[in-house]
Amino acid sequence: MLDYLELEDDLTGEEKLVRDEARRFVEEQVKPDIGDHFEQGTFPTDLIPEMGELGFYAPNLDGYGLPGLGERAYGLLMQELEAGDSGLRSMASVQGSLVIYPIHAFGSEAQKERWLPALGNGEAVGCFGLTEPQHGSNPAGMETRAEKDADGYVLNGSKTWITNSPIADVAVVWARDTSADGSPVRGFLVGTDRDGVTTNKIDDKLSMRASVTGEIGLDDVWVSEDDVLPGVEGMKGPLSCLTQARFGISWGVVGAARDAFEDALQYAKDREQFGGPIARFQLQQGKFAEMATQITNAQLQAHRLAELKERGDLRHQHVSMAKRHNVRVARDVTRTAREVLGGNGITTDYSPMRHMENIETVYTYEGTDDIHTLVIGADLTGIEAFE
């Protein structure tokens, strides 16, 4: 596996174990069928509990049965999962960073005991409802409302593009609490079996096909006071979750790029044209040198993010830079790798085009490339380009 600057030589024994376990899981359990899942638009749901048993959800958090590993181990896990498919990493990102994390960070003791063990071991599936049909890059404009009644809240609104919503047991729904001054955004734990909740599946995706995506409709859905996350108010609730998930994405996409590169390299050594392997042509070697350099730069950013996160110095703008850069790398590398495979490259027999299509989603979700560009721009200039 490409590790040109030998960054993985510095991993601890525990981190190497985590990496190897995830790599084995992907080779044995994911790669054989993932092309079929992608074609059919299905997620391998049978793997959800096993991923839990292996500690793939929120591996960097502890207590309540969670693994309590370090940040680099978390990153390595995301990298290996996304080498299988971005859909698999998305499942783990949502479950870990967008559902377990907010309950762990902002939940009551009762909420933690109710949900964290079940979400951690994959008995329960969660989803994160922030995006709305009219509010994507600008989630603060959300229209979903929570109105106070005697001992709870009544939720109305709709969320869309929600990973896992059709298979979720619980949704972390972000809504404006109209009973408080300024209608602050608050997080609500909504069981998907509650009256008034619908979770229609979005079927016509050309990207991230091996991932279940849907809507969340909320029509006079009642939840109790005990279902409100007590520890956070305002947009910092959802945004702090997104910083966690984007850290994982910055690592994950390196796995997709690396997998596409490895597929293309093997193919170029095996495929013969004009009396020998295409890998001997200078034009092809140039592509491999460029891909390897780009992947190595992405690896360096990912490893550095983990160091900063581990010592408590990670800023969300650092994560914006790595998410933006590493997704761009994955977008370029998967396309070049596809090209090396010629006609065979457009099939699901090989990984590059599947990864390439997935990356179009990753380029857009968790803050588009444009939005992260403006976040970095605002940090450097001190001037916000948008509110």
**Active-site residue flag, 366:** yes
- Closest to 133 measured CA to CA, from 239, 188, 215, 242: 215
Give how far the C-alpha of residue 257 lies from the chain's centroid of Cα atoms, to the nearest Å.
15
Say whether residue 192 binds ligand FAD (CB under 6 A): no
CB of 43 to ligand FAD, least distance (A): 12
Contact present, 2 and 295 (Cβ < 8 Å): yes
Orientation of helix 236-270 relative to helix 71-84, angle to 10°? 50
| Nearer of residues 136 and 277 to ligand FAD, judged by Cβ | 136
Residue 71: CB minimum distance to ligand FAD, A = 22
The distance of closest approach from Cβ of residue 375 to ligand FAD in the complex, given in angstroms and rounded to an integer, is 10
Contacts of 10 (CB under 8 A, 6+ apart): none
Nearer Cβ to ligand FAD (165/299): 165
Of 27, 134, 88, the residue nearest 253 (C-alpha): 88
Total binding residues toward ligand FAD, as defined by CB under 6 A: 21
The reply on whether position 213 binds ligand FAD by CB under 6 A is yes
When the beta carbons of 255 and 367 are compared against ligand FAD, the nearer one is 367
Compute φ and ψ for 272, nearest 5 degrees.
-105, 135
- In this chain, which of 76, 78, 83, 94 binds ligand FAD, going by CB under 6 A? 94
- Please report, to the nearest 10 degrees, the dihedral formed by the alpha carbons of residues 220, 223, 228, 233 taken in order: 10
Which member of 8, 366, 384, 387 is catalytic? 366
Among positions 345-384, residues that touch ligand FAD (CB under 6 A) are 361, 364-366, 368, 370-371, 374
Closest contact distance (angstroms) between CB of 10 and ligand FAD is 33
Q: Based on CB atoms, which residue is closest to ligand FAD, 52 or 129?
A: 129
Closest CB 237 distance from ligand FAD, rounded Å = 13
Q: Report d(CA 189, CA 80) in Å as an integer.
A: 30
Among 66, 162, 175, 254, binds ligand FAD (CB under 6 A): 162
Nearer Cβ to ligand FAD (23/89): 89
Helix, strand, or coil (residue 163): strand
- The number of residues in the chain equals 387
Under rule CB under 6 A, residue 161 binds ligand FAD: yes
Measured at CB, which residue is nearest to ligand FAD?
Answer: 136
Minimum Å gap between C-beta 41 and ligand FAD is: 12
Task: Yes or no: say if 368 and 359 are a contact pair by the CB < 8 Å rule.
Answer: no
Give the nearer residue to ligand FAD in terms of CB position, either 208 or 330: 208
- Burial of 345 by CB count in 10 Å (0-12 exposed, 13-18 middle, 19+ buried)? buried
200 makes contact with ligand FAD (CB under 6 A): no
How buried is 203 (Cβ within 10 angstroms: 0-12 exposed, 13-18 middle, 19+ buried)? exposed
How far are the Cα atoms of 112, 113, 230, 231 from residue 109, in angstroms, in the given order? 5, 6, 10, 11
- Per-residue mark of binding to ligand FAD, 117-136 (x: CB under 6 A): -----------xxxx----x
Residues at the contact surface with ligand FAD, assessed by CB under 6 A: 94, 128-131, 136-137, 161-163, 208, 213, 361, 364-366, 368, 370-371, 374, 386
Residues involved in catalysis? 366
